[in-house]
Structure 1
Amino acid sequence: MSRVTIGGLADQLGLSKASVSYALNGQPGVSDETRRRVLELATSLGWHPSSSARALSRSRTDAIGIVLRRDPELLGSEPYYMSLLAGVESVLAETGKSLLLRMVGASTRDEVATYRRWSAEGRVDGVMLFDLVDGDERPPLLDELGMAYVVHGANPEVAPGRVLTYDIVHDTQLIVDHLASLGHHRILHIAGPAEFVHEANRREVLDELGARAGIRATHRHNDYSMEAGESAALAELGADAGITAIVTSSDLLALGASAALRSLGRSDVAVVSWDDSLLCRIVSPAITALDRFPEEQGARSTRVLLEVLLGLGPTETLARPSELVVRRTSVAI
């Protein structure tokens, strides 16, 4: 008879591996009915928990940590992260776990120091990483510290089994096809910090797919503030009259670009944001944007981390495909 595994039980019951583990180990996070179904099947198949798994469970703090390199005063103005954190909390609330959140400005040194302190004090069971850079020191540091982690929005090879990754080609193709259908050939790409891997990837793929569609992009890297989007749009539109569309890496950058267009009296320039939010819907004119479902993806990243903590094996998770929401800034030429 083959060995009964948590994964096998989950497949038979149509449940997540984390839910099965909670049920088997008497942890909160599942209903009484779900716990009964899991235990009945496990008993019938002769499943027995390992002593190492029980020991690991007893040593838990029941908290996960997130360190964001963001100014604490600005976090509330970033709808993407607010939605993502809502998704994280929704899963943690179901499982009786808590979130320890720290914001450290732009300092990598302060972020690394936070992980070292958390490890030394035993404050969290694992952490979630964002905004990877080339040669990022955080994954090897966490491996050295023996701290579990997952990476949100990165290539699978960064941390096999511990990544939620977006399909950047799919996302970029949606934008390129849309702008090409509107007749645009010269665009301004207002991006986030150049050192972020996801920004470098967006730039590379936008150039490649744009060239196939006869679109040439000018790239400008900034922080993610509305002020940065406005100043970049004003400068580049003033320097290049041939630009007919603006693509931004965030909703706040898109709001800034739209403000610049209003101040210039320009209604002939299209705007597309890589992130959607309530801000894109209520501003006038409403901004075309990619809905990347941040709340759902925050929840999925959290489930991946919980499965890593439960020792349930590698999990490669591709984020739900983004959808382009077309609004009034989709201006044709």
Structure 2
Amino acid sequence: MKDIAKRAAVSESAVSFALNGRPGVSEVTRDRVRRVAEQLGWQPSTAARALSGEGSATIGLVLARPAATLGVDSFFLQLVSGIQEILAERHLGLLFRVVEDVDDECAVYRRWWAEHRVDGVLVVDPRTADPRPGLLDGLGLPGVVIGALPEADAGVHASLSQAQADDTAAMALIVGRLHELGHRRITHIAGLPTLAHTERRIRTLRDTAAGHGLTAVRSETTDYSDAQGAAVTRRVLEEDDPPTALVYDNDVMAAAGSAVAAELGRSVPGDVSIVSWEDSPLCRLSRPWLTALSRDAVAFGRIAAAELMSLLDGGAARTVDVPVPHLIERESTAAPARGLPEQRGGPE
């Protein structure tokens, strides 16, 4: 109000009357005050000002993904559970939005900042070309990126911390184990192609395969849904020279892929081994039980939320690594049933 009053050359009480639609100022003054308010990006704050009498007592989280995939994403639900544990300790609320794309997400951040709706944000699904870090820096809105930013963005945003998982080490672990079992034709059924972690997993798959001399290795991107996971699985298994191992970026696609293999008369793991990037009860309800990477998604959420609390308390932005997941081998992986001489690919 002081800033608006100074720029509009009126009293603070006149600003209050003008912005609240109360009598006591002329229409000329009211219009001038509103124009100045718009120039300054002011909007009325609808959130309670609770922390130290100034903050909104609310943390923001926006998800720019197809809404249909949200209900089946066990990792995200566990992540939110861990976030909520930390927020509850500080009596903070979580303001959650689902939007169509990153442009809509950026618009939400601008609106929240203008309305003083949130004290900070948690940012998920870093993109390969991501406008969000620069926007949040420009707004001065504290945030924690859950997952590693692209290398070009890492460490250059003063208002952002990172809680990152080592996708490179995890993919190398999977490929290395499948190679040990004798697999030479591996297909990675990945998630959204615009995500930074998808790009890292694809690159690591390619680089690790090259290190083992494998040439019949590739990635296929999807929207994370069981429908697309099943469709890609059917397509690759019906090829003349199908893969002997499939790596899925989530548990839902892995379970769908296992069902498709059975429908096509393919034995798991005799004809094709299956690995899920995420472990969940679904991996233990499927038959056969699915080999999976196990990571503590709840702890991941707690770490990210704790880092945001540190920023809000005046701490410096930093990057925190979460533990590399370990591979739980179950019934869905084994050596290929067919002998190695008939398999194509590079030398052992």
Q: Same fold (TM over 0.5)?
A: yes
The secondary structure found in structure 2 opposite 1:180 is helix
CA distance in structure 2 between the aligned counterparts of 1:235 and 1:311, rounded to whole angstroms: 52
Q: Which amino acid in structure 1 is aligned with residue 146 of structure 2?
A: H
Displacement, 1:158?
6.1
Match of 1:196 in 2: 195
Q: How far apart in 1 are the matches of 2:85 and 2:209?
A: 38
Give the direction of change, closer, same or farther, for the CA distance of 1:93–1:246 in structure 2 (3 Å limit): same
Deviation readout 1:202-254 (Å, 9 max, x if unpaired)? 10011111222233412111100011110001111212424100011111121
Q: Distance in 2 between matches of 1:196 and 1:83?
A: 20
Structure 2 counterparts to residues 161-310 of structure 1, below 5 A: 162-215=161-214, 216-267=216-267, 268-310=271-313
1:80 correspondence with 2:53: no
The answer on whether the counterparts of 2:83 and 2:298 sit within 8 Å (CA) in structure 1 is yes
Post-superposition shift, 1:92?
0.8
Partners in 2 of 1:282 and 1:325 — Cα distance?
15
- For the Cα contact (< 8 Å) 1:228–1:256, is it kept in 2? no
Structure 1: distance between partners of 2:176 and 2:251: 20
Structure with greater Cα Rg = 2
Amino acid at match of 1:212: G
For normalisation by structure 2, the TM-score amounts to 0.76
CA RMSD of aligned residues (A): 1.8
Please say which of residues 222-231 and 74-83 is displaced more in the overlay: 74-83
CA distance in 1, matches of 2:105, 2:174: 34
Residue 312 of structure 1, CA deviation: 1.4
| Alignment pair present for 1:109 and 2:112 | no
Gap change, CA 1:231 and 1:164, over 3 Å in 2: same
Percent identity, aligned pairs only? 38
The unaligned stretches of length 5 or more in structure 1 are: 1-55
Kept in 2: contact 1:249–1:273 (CA 8 A): yes
Instruction: Flag as ranges the 4+ runs of structure 1 deviating above 4 A.
Output: 158-161
Paired residues of 1:185 and 1:214 also in contact (CA < 8 A): no
Q: Which amino acid aligns with 2:264?
A: L
* Displacement after TM superposition at 1:311 (Å): 0.9
Aligned match of 1:91: 86
State the AA in 1 paired with 2:182: G
1:239 aligned counterpart, secondary structure: coil
CA distance in structure 2 between the partners assigned to 1:63 and 1:108 by the alignment: 21
**C-alpha contact (below 8 Å) 2:229/2:254 kept by paired residues:** yes
Q: What's the TM-score, normalizing by structure 1?
A: 0.79
**Contact 2:206–2:218 (CA under 8 A) maintained in structure 1:** no
Q: Which runs of 5+ in 2 are unaligned?
A: 1-50, 337-348
1:151 to 1:240, Cα distance in 2 relative to 1, 3 A: farther
**Partner Cα distance (2:64, 2:183) in 1:** 35
Quote the Cα distance in structure 1 between the aligned partners of 2:188 and 2:330.
19
What is the alpha-carbon distance in structure 2 between the residues aligned to residue 74 and residue 189 of structure 1?
A: 19
The whole-number CA distance in structure 2 between the counterparts of 1:318 and 1:138 is 21
Q: Alpha-carbon deviations, 1:149-187, whole Å to 9, x = none? A: 111111443646600111223201210121012110111
Distance (whole Å) between structure 1 residues aligned to residue 54 and residue 305 of structure 2: 19
Q: Secondary structure at the match of 2:155?
A: helix
Match of 2:39 in 1: none
**Residue by residue, what CA displacement relative to the aligned partner does 1:33-83 show, whole Å, maximum 9, x if unpaired?**
xxxxxxxxxxxxxxxxxxxxxxx8442111111000134454221101011
Residue 324 in structure 1 maps to residue 327 in structure 2? yes
User: What is the 5 A alignment of 1:46-85?
Assistant: 57-85=52-80
Amino acid at match of 1:269: V
The amino acid that maps onto 1:85 is V
Secondary structure, aligned partner of 1:76: helix
Distance 1:74 1:167 in 2: 24
Q: How many equivalent pairs are there?
A: 278
Distance in 1 between residues matched to 2:317 and 2:228, nearest whole Å: 39
- 2:114 aligns with 120
| Letter matched to residue 263 of structure 1 | E
Rounded to whole Å, the distance in 1 between the matches of 2:220 and 2:52 is: 48
Are 1:313 and 2:316 an aligned pair? Answer: yes
- Determine which of 111, 127, 131 is the counterpart of 1:133: 127
CA deviation vs aligned residue, 1:112-165 (integer Å, no higher than 9, x gap)? 111111111111101111112222111111112221111111144364660011
> Cα deviation per residue 1:301-329 (whole Å; 9 max; x = unaligned)?
11111111111123321011211111111
Specify which structure has the higher proportion of helix.
Answer: 1
Tell me the distance in 2 between the aligned counterparts of 1:176 and 1:204.
12
Whole-angstrom distance in 2 between the partners of 1:214 and 1:256: 30
Deviations 1:255-304 (A, max 9, x none): 22112101111112001111111111211111111112111101101111
Kept in 2: contact 1:250–1:273 (CA 8 A) = yes
